[in-house]
Amino acid sequence: MDRPGGRKIHLKPIPHLGGVAILISFVVGVLVSRPIEIEFQPIIIGGALIVLLGLIDDKFDMKPLTKLIGQILITLVPIYYGIVIDRITPFGIEIEFGIFAVPITIIWMIAIINAINLIDGLDGLATGVSIIALSSIAFITILQGNIFVMMICVILIGSCLGFLVYNFHPAKIFLGDNGSMLLGFVISVISLMGFKNITLISLFFPIIILGVPIVDMLFAMFRRYRNKVSIVSADKSHIHHKLRTLGYTHVESVILIYFMAALYAGASIILYLSTVPGALIITTLVIFTTVIIVEATNLIGNGKKPVLNFLRRLVHKIVSVN
């Protein structure tokens, strides 16, 4: 049971075995579908291990370093099966990572696992954001003709939708670390499997698809570093906390972040379908949108809003001229 206290906002004990529920339904779905590819094995094996790690963390509140070591060891499961970022081909030039392929893959997977883990602060938030991200990956893999990854995405979307019924506010069950890390792990693996032929542009697809949790994680680390505290220390300055501070209700904050996640997911699909000039335009718009979100929610924590203030002055001048 997840009991109230500290940074937690719920008022009564709530079970947090969400990862177990999602894992069971996901495994059943995968086994019923009888995939030909052997690549479903590292997803299930690694998924079961990450849920076990999360259960231990939920029960005993592991130290961040111990938890990180456990995550790193579990990422070696898909790597053992050959799921690695071993090369990229920017502008048609193939670059081999060689001995750095495994460390880069580990960093990639750990970043996504913890991005989903950190955004799991409101009822239904991490589950809904994961559904949106999975839907975007599924759509792109359909365009690629990668039916296996699309199937994995659809099965996990079904598991998450069934769970979201009980996880949305007011939640009857939480994801817990076991659930949020499971979603992050599976998304990190299928993002690599879905974009095997990695070019400079396709490397950014998963980053844009998971724009909200990744931006939240990066600015949390920057904020803690600037305040001279551990970058893995907990605080109440994540994007969902900031929205609550601005006066939005629990449900309003979650739905707003859903819309942000959908915006990034839509941009990733447009980016996939774009030419190089179009990709540059979309990337610029994504960066601009990110700046607006960061300033509007004060994710940096310094209260400065140069871009928003500039836009306000610009709008004011246009209105006064008219």
Q: Is 7 helix (H, G, I), strand (E, B) or coil?
A: coil
Q: In this predicted structure, what is the pLDDT of residue 146?
A: 86
Q: In this predicted structure, what is the pLDDT of residue 26?
A: 96
Check: CB of residue 107 under 8 Å from CB of residue 225.
no
Check: CB of residue 61 under 8 Å from CB of residue 188.
no
Check: CB of residue 155 under 8 Å from CB of residue 164.
no
Backbone angles phi, psi at 173, to 5 degrees: -150, 145
Given a cut of 70, the residues of the chain with pLDDT beneath it are: 5-11, 89-93, 195-204, 232, 322
Per residue, the 3-state secondary structure of 216-277, as one string, reads HHHHHHHHHHHCCCCCCCCCCCCHHHHHHHCCCCHHHHHHHHHHHHHHHHHHHHHHHHCCHH
Q: In this predicted structure, what is the pLDDT of residue 52?
A: 97
**Residue 10's closest CA among 173, 177, 247?**
173
Q: Is the dihedral of CA 314, 211, 203, 86 positive or negative?
A: positive
User: What is the distance, to the nearest Å, from the Cα of residue 225 to the centroid of all Cα atoms in its chain?
Assistant: 22
39: left (phi over 0), alpha (psi -120 to 50) or beta: alpha
Q: Which residues, at least 6 apart from 243, have a Cβ–Cβ distance to it below 8 Å?
A: 252, 253, 256, 257, 297
Structure tokens at 133: 């991200």
Q: In this predicted structure, what is the pLDDT of residue 204?
A: 66
**DSSP-assigned states of every residue in 117-174:** HHH--STTHHHHHHHHHHHHHHHHHHHHT-HHHHHHHHHHHHHHHHHHHHHSSSPSS-
- How far apart are the C-alpha atoms of 98 and 247, rounded to whole Å? 50
Backbone angles phi, psi at 14, to 5 degrees: -135, 135
**Residue 177's closest CA among 223, 104, 126?**
126
Check: CB of residue 11 under 8 Å from CB of residue 4.
yes
Q: pTM of the entire structure?
A: 0.90
Q: In this predicted structure, what is the pLDDT of residue 236?
A: 76
Check: CB of residue 25 under 8 Å from CB of residue 158.
yes
Domain ranges of the chain: 18-321
